[in-house]
Amino acid sequence: MNKTLQENLTRQLCDSVDSLQKQVDKVEFWASAVVGLAAPVPDYEPEASAVGRYLKTGRPVRKRRRRRAANQTNKTDTKPASA
pLDDT in tens, 5-49: 999 999 999 999 999 999 999 999 999 999 888 888 878 776 777
The verdict on residue 15 lying in a domain is yes
The verdict on residue 14 lying in a domain is yes
The verdict on residue 68 lying in a domain is no
For the ranges 23-27, 31-35, 59-63, 69-73, the one whose mean pLDDT is highest? 23-27
- Cβ pair 54, 60 in contact under 8 A: no
pTM (predicted TM-score): 0.43
The verdict on residue 18 lying in a domain is yes
Q: Where in the sequence is the domain holding 9, given as residue range(s)?
A: 2-39
The verdict on residue 20 lying in a domain is yes
Q: Measured on CA atoms in the order 4, 5, 6, 11, is the torsion positive or negative?
A: positive
The verdict on residue 67 lying in a domain is no
The verdict on residue 73 lying in a domain is no
The domain tally of the chain equals 1
The verdict on residue 8 lying in a domain is yes
